[in-house]
Chain A
Amino acid sequence: MNLRRIFPPRVVAVWLVIYVALLLLPTVQGITGFPLYNLIFLYLVFFWITQATSWNILSGYSGYFSFGQAAFYGGGMYTTTILGSRYDWDLLPTLPVAALVGAGIAFLTGLLVFRLRKLSGEIFALFTLAVALGIGALVQNWRVLDGGRGIVLGQLDYPDLLGDTTEMLYYLGLTLAVIALLAAYVVQRSRFGAGLFAIRDDEKVAEAIGVPTFRYKMLIFTVSGALAAASGGLHAVQVGFISTDVGFGLRVAVFVILMSVVGGRRHWFGPLLGAVLIQTVTDRMAGAGYAEANQIVLAAVLIAATLFLRGGISARLVERPLPPVLGFVLGFVGTFVAGYPAITAAAWGMAVGLVVLFVPDRFLPQRRSWTRGGSAPGGDGDGSGAGTDDGIEDGHRIEGDEVIEPSDPASPTKETGR
């Protein structure tokens, strides 16, 4: 494995700077006293990044569309809650156990569903939904787990160095988000990821060219379940009262799909963008008393992204980043200077950036259409990544510096040739 290719030093340096800045933020908050809510808001962003990314590495990369996110998220929530409230476990040890539970649920589900070739497509989606509902019903009716009463988690012990509860949630939420993004990034840029994208494009062809499809699907499903469950376990602390409605409701399953579709399902960066955007909009709308209208707005965004942004925002952003960036900056600065809180200003900035993003190409200065394989912002542009076709609305793709026509008989698949 060529680590320098996967982790170009300049890219690593930039992300490290961002990571360190985020790590220092609670300290800065303590010194400057900027509103504590910004940390809570960011924790929620981290939570959604982790959830959406965990969903996307399975459903976005391999094309196996899952509606069963709640099985892992809820499983993790209940694991932490039961271990913490009934057996007095500290918080930190509950998280790896929650991850194991999520991985176990995914593994067992995968063993069944991936063995049966006919359980693909919409059948797979329904199957995963049934698994989530089934586990929810089990928890609802089995007093050993819950029995329908709900469980109050209370305060769990954790190392003092993590600060108060808000800071602890922030640090651990950030850590889980980084782990999830790192996993998504590495998978996308590995042979493993190429295999997953090949499965998505055509599983039979993938098998024919030697991709171990069953093993790959099992592995990514298990990792996905582990990430979602660990994040759910931590989120139990934030919610405080866990019931089957909270753990196994459809909200998380719907939102991770929404975030990934809007952000871009074939880029590791897509769920991050989607999570930041949708959590920001949701937060501002709820705060302004438009929680109900928020659902309409999100539906409109999803429709627009589906119709006009094949590949999601990330693909479009990579394709032509400057106009939406300028739009975002103008929107943000304008509202921030006008006296709005930072999160509100960011929401307006994103709105302006999105509008610019939606402007058809013909209204913008003409330039040669281009895209880069696996090229999320910060990517190394080697043209080998699996996100290539997200940025190609006309079916073109790039290999090296060459634009390959879709009808080119020499390019039957995109990633599996590596």
Chain B
Amino acid sequence: MNGRPVRRWAAMAVALSMVLAACADDDGEVADDADDGTEDTDDTDDTDDTDGDDSDADDDDGDASAEPEGDPITIGGSLALTGIFASTAEIHDIVADEYVEMLNENGGLLGRPVEWTVLDDESEADQSAALYERLITQDEVDLVMGPYGTGSITAAMQVAERYGYVFPHHTASLTYAYTYEKHFPTWFVGLNTHQTTPRKVFEAYQTLDDAPETVTFVTNRFPGTDFLVYGVDEGEGALEAGGGAARVAEDMGLEVVETLDFDTGTTDFSGIAGRVAEADADLLYVGGLGVDGPNLLAALEQQDYQPRHQFHQWPSPGPMLAAGDVADGATSVTIFEPFEPYLSNEGGQELYERYTSAAEEAGLDYTNPETQAGASWAAWQVLTAGVEGCECLDHDEIADWLLNNPIETVQGTFEYREDEQNYGDDIQTIKQIQDGEWYVVWPDDQASEGREMRGSS
């Protein structure tokens, strides 16, 4: 027998098998689930019917101490468990675990246990999009929670929109770009954060006796920080052109003496530090995130330069404290800190206690919950409030409930406004490093006890 045709066909069979295997239906057990789930995916209204049948579960909803019963409610999401954003995403991972554990200890959701599935998007937006496709169409989760990182959130939101899923998310910064009617941001900074956030910062500084008159901007080219510092150009998103800290500063009478940009991932700031020292502005405005600020401060310290005033957009709180004296007096914006009045907000004490304990167990350097943890916890509060509010898993109804009811969170009360792309008021406050700790210092009525904004030392 001639072996060549046999081999040819066998090889062809390999290729065919590989392709067809990927398409073949699952076995009976899996296929049954898949059938149900596919209908749910195609028409999310059907999930409501499922819940409608689960009347016992609904009845149990009011009894928080009851053991959750019935099929679990599955919630899926991705986080940057590895990659460039992993250190910050770990905060969201801890919060998710703690929140779901708390839910299940207190009767679950709609009386049913909650299962949380988190996948690693490796800090990459395209991976995140693929994983949300997977969570929705293969794992057929009932609900989704947004990932961490503006790029990943924005990409995942496109997928959620494609399938009509409610999409709570905690830290997306391109407010102007989010037009999906079922997205619910919990970094409650307002739609026009490129105007309101810098205005708050400069207003806070204007209360000082030695209020800054000149400012230097150092900006990470990361989309969110770029947006906050340089605002919106013509035709970019739904907002009117303008805004951005640099323009707001000029509008408020500050002289911009230097604007310096750097790429995400930069760690050597010696060149930028030299320019900052040379400009010697009254206020150093760092449009950075993570360890950008501490790295820049370390470079400034090497050059024996101490900024008179310094603001950091989204710094990692622990490394900022660890930076030492050079960071003393540094300010930032926040939506949650482990002080009053935040601790009296809905869930504030639980977040503080649970997160601190879990963060210590996980070996985090900085174990206090702040902006990241507060945004993350609030996202879970929003999602569960919507489900409990409509007593359903129907995404249209959840969204409708969230848009028409105030929601109590650790940050305060959220009121989503459809005419502002589901954003509300900018509820951020200003915090400052004083005596080696972060304290809320502005506005006065929300300042930590005995604390107020300090000028240069």
Contact = CB atoms under 8 A, between A and B. Distances in A.
Interface of A: 14, 18, 21-22, 25, 32-38, 40-42, 44-45, 86, 140-141, 143, 147-150, 152-155, 165-166, 235, 238-241, 243, 245-246, 249, 251, 269, 272-273, 276-277, 280, 283, 286-287, 289, 291-292, 317-318, 320-322, 324-325, 328-329, 332, 336-337, 339-343, 345-346, 349-350, 353, 370, 372, 376-379, 381
A143 to B, nearest CB: 6
B252 interface: no
Nearest to B129: A239
Interface stretch (B61-69, B155-163, B294-302): B155-163
A272 B15 contact: yes
A38 B120 contact: no
B13 A325 contact: yes
A286 B122 CA distance: 10
B11 A342 contact: no
A40 B23 contact: no
Contact of B137 (A21, A36, A155, A329): A36
B9 to A, nearest CB: 8
A325 B11 contact: yes
Contacts of A34: 23-26, 31, 34, 38
A45 B15 contact: no
B91 to A, nearest CB: 19
Nearest to B121: A291
A152 B176 CA distance: 10
Q: Which 8 A-B pairs have the closest CB atoms?
A: A240-B158, A377-B11, A37-B138, A346-B21, A241-B154, A291-B120, A36-B137, A37-B137
Contacts of B157: 240-241
A38 B23 contact: yes
Given A372-B4, A378-B11, A239 B125 contact: yes
B275 to A, nearest CB: 18
Contact of B151 (A40, A150, A317): A150
Interface string B105-145: 00000000000001111101111011101100111100000
A347 to B, nearest CB: 9
A273 B4 contact: no
Contact of B134 (A21, A243, A287, A332): A287
A328 B19 CA distance: 12
Contacts of A44: 130
7 contacts: A34-B26, A272-B15, A289-B119, A325-B10, A328-B17, A345-B21, A376-B11
A35 B37 contact: yes
A70 B134 CA distance: 25
B344 interface: no
Given A291-B122, A349-B17, A239 B155 contact: yes
Contacts of B19: 18, 22, 42, 45, 276
Interface of B: 3-4, 6-8, 10-27, 29-31, 34-35, 37-39, 41, 81-82, 118-122, 124-127, 129-131, 133-134, 137-140, 150-151, 154-155, 157-159, 161-162, 174, 177, 179, 221-223, 226-227, 233, 235-236, 263-264
Given A37-B133, A148-B223, A241 B14 contact: no
Contacts of A149: 174, 223, 226-227, 236
A86 B22 contact: no
Contacts of A166: 137, 162
Contacts of A345: 21
Contacts of B119: 286-287, 289, 291
A362 B197 CA distance: 71
Contacts of A372: 4
A342 B3 CA distance: 31
Contacts of A317: 11, 14
Contacts of A249: 124
A1 to B, nearest CB: 23
A12 B39 CA distance: 37
A30 to B, nearest CB: 9
B226 to A, nearest CB: 5
A342 B233 CA distance: 48
A325 B14 contact: yes
Contact of A321 (B7, B125, B226): B7
A370 B14 CA distance: 19
A40 B221 contact: no
Contacts of B24: 34, 336, 342
Given A36-B138, A141-B221, A342-B23, 11 more contacts: A18-B15, A22-B19, A42-B22, A140-B263, A291-B127, A318-B11, A320-B7, A325-B10, A336-B24, A370-B3, A372-B4
A241 B125 contact: yes
